[in-house]
Structure 1
Amino acid sequence: MIRIPAGTFTMGSDKFYPEEAPAHRVSVDGFWIDETPVTNRQFAAFVEATGHTTVAEIAPDPKDYPDLLPGMDRAGSLVFHKSPVPVDTSNPANWWRFDFGADWRHPLGPDSDIDSLDLWDHPVVQVAYADAQAYAGWAGKALPTEAEFEFAARGGLEDTDYAWGDELAPDGAMMANYWQGLFPFANQMLDGWERTSPVRTYPANGYGLFDMIGNTWEWTSDWWSDRRGGDVKSGGKAGAKSSCCTIRNPRGARLRDSFDPAHPGVKIGRKVLKGGSHLCAANYCQRYRPAARHPEMIDSSTSHIGFRCVTRDI
């Protein structure tokens, strides 16, 4: 783990997506954070020691999901499938598919496995929030807050778009694992990786942390709130004014405020994901930035979400 000293920084952004606004001053106490995302090797040790069964390995109970379609009451998880042609990027169903038998051991579906794909040193994926929380408890750690993650991801830089500066690929260098090309059908793989990459593949940030940006989204402990500060129609640019006061150690929204208003009948909380993933592209989801954030239902697991842990100064 790497120790992150206490500090104050500008959290959020007024330049990109509305939910990142307004940019505001936040202070966090000192804490320790994992140098890399939790890997398959580390997660396997946890499962061997505890016998933990992940959410993706348990068939959903129709009583908990009254709208469950016939035949969907089987264990599985969401897997990304590259489209063969350009598709409507407003509909994630064009590239996400619920694959029966997909789980952390079989991240791309039942016919894949982390051993044959040599993924032991890649970030573990197909883990729901409860799985990440269980690992953290076993390790004597916790999941980071959104503020802690963003502060650590910035690596000591202030007012820069990316964790390494204001240029996405300085002098053509790939600084993180993100999608190069047109999502979701044409990945140029300039960095050599179409999906996840081994941890420590890309340069560490200013704090010595790897993969805080790209590779996989990462769970945080904060319930989601939609901090909309601008007109969504104005190219996604936010326009809210910054907060006048510094907030210390923010802890996110309340559970009831994290529900998805688009689905009022579904009362499953959403947590904040940070860091972006290998599926973020210039033409879709430019969230390979410290300020970027995304909501995810806590019972969801996918092929592009992982996590890392923290411990806090006493």
Structure 2
Amino acid sequence: MASGAVAGDLGPIAGNPLVEVPAGPFVFGRDDGPDNERPRRLIEGQAFAINRTEITNRQYERFVAATGHRRAFYADHPLLGIADRPVVGVSWSDADAFCQHYGLVLPSEQQYERAARGTKGRVFPWGEAPPDKMRANAGSDVCCTGDDRDGYLMTAPADAFAAGASEEGALNLVGNVWEWTGDAYRPYEGTSVAGDERHRVLRGGAWNSDPNHLTTTYRLAYDPDFRFAANGGFRCVRSSP
């Protein structure tokens, strides 16, 4: 069980505090998964802080009201648009603009993986046990259909599934919605896997993901201009100076 150590940093986004992730070595990548997750190696990470939850519809609407930025595509959807659910239907530039408005940025792949995986290279934020209805909002066993075995047909409240919290207390880093990172999709150093600088990386899986997509290391290359995904959202980070 995570300590839930929200380290006194309420951050600039009301209702979504920043969770401190300390500097230090951590395991990045894996050698027993898809080729684009290789190689497994030890990295010396810098300290940063990450939103405890995904950005919600309520939080995104406040940003829209303050800036005049376009609304999320599913803002008025009867399920996906509920105020406490993660905002979905946002492009990479929408997510980037939100974070920058609050003096934050989208997480890098390394930051996302460190926050989700802890220091020891966990397969899931909570440990090694596979996802279940208490730990993650996931889909059917065959890609890619939602189900309500975990209590939610589509997205769940951003602060749900406390049993699936990360080592530092961040929630839903696996499941609920895919999350934009700041990085272009490219191979890891030392591999021959083809990269594609036109796409950005999504992490974490979603409410309609099968078990193969619900790990702390899975990488999904995605069109940064596409804003119609009903299963894609984001959260922000603050890097330490």
Q: TM-score, normalised by structure 1?
A: 0.65
The equivalent residue for 2:224 is 298
- Structure 1 residue 226: deviation in Å? 3.4
Matches within 5 A, 1:1-314: 1-53=18-70, 103-106=73-76, 112-113=77-78, 119-154=82-117, 156-169=118-131, 174-184=134-144, 188-203=147-162, 204-227=165-188, 258-259=196-197, 269-282=198-211, 286-301=212-227, 302-314=229-241
1:220 partner SS = strand
Equivalents in 2 of 1:288, 1:157: separation in Å? 19
- 8 Å contact kept, 1:18–1:229: no
Going from structure 1 to structure 2, the CA distance change for 1:46 and 1:195 (only over 3 Å counts) comes to: same
Residue of structure 2 equivalent to 1:98: none
Q: C-alpha distance in 2, partners of 1:215/1:188?
A: 12
Q: Is contact 1:215-1:304 (8 Å) kept?
A: yes
Inter-partner Cα distance in structure 1 for 2:189 and 2:19? 32
- Residue 229 of structure 1: how far off its partner (Å): 8.4
Distance 1:181 1:52, change over 3 A: same
Q: How far apart, in 1, do the equivalents of 2:144 and 2:203 lie?
A: 21
Aligned mates of 1:32, 1:212 — CA distance in 2? 14
User: 1:43 & 1:271 partners in 2: Cα distance?
Assistant: 21
**Counterpart-to-counterpart distance in 2, 1:147 and 1:181:** 28
The ranges of structure 1 where at least 4 consecutive aligned residues each deviate by more than 2 angstroms after the TM superposition are 180-185, 226-232
Q: 1:150: Cα distance to partner?
A: 0.5
Matched residues in 1 for 2:232 and 2:147: separation? 22
Using the alignment, how far apart are the partners of 1:27 and 1:275 within structure 2?
22
Distance 1:188 1:177 in 2: 9
Q: Residues 25 and 180 (structure 1 numbering): CA distance in 2 closer, same or farther, change over 3 Å? A: same
Distance change (3 Å), C-alpha of 1:28 and 1:189: same
Question: Tell me, which stretches of 5 or more residues in structure 1 are unaligned?
Answer: 57-102, 107-111, 233-252, 260-268
Supply the RMSD in Å over aligned alpha carbons. Answer: 2.5
Contact 1:18 1:227 (C-alpha < 8 Å) held by counterparts: no
- Give the direction of change, closer, same or farther, for the CA distance of 1:184–1:295 in structure 2 (3 Å limit): closer
How far did 1:205 drift?
Answer: 1.8
Following TM superposition, by how much is the alpha carbon of 1:230 offset from its aligned partner in structure 2, in angstroms?
A: 8.9
Could you tell me how far apart the structure 1 residues matched to 2:230 and 2:238 are?
26
Q: Which runs of 5+ in 2 are unaligned?
A: 1-17
AA at the equivalent of 2:214:
Y
- Secondary structure of the residue that 2:103 maps to in structure 1? coil
Return the index of the structure with the highest Cα Rg. 1
Measured after TM superposition, the shift of residue 159 of structure 1 is 3.2
Letter of the structure 2 residue corresponding to residue 134 of structure 1: A
One-letter code aligned to 2:239? R
Contact 2:202/2:221 (CA < 8 Å) preserved in 1? yes
TM-score (norm. length: structure 2): 0.83
Contact residue 19 and residue 228 of structure 1 kept, 8 A: no
What are the superposed Cα offsets for residues 133-159 of structure 1, whole Å, 9 maximum, x if unpaired?
Answer: 1101111111111000100111x3513
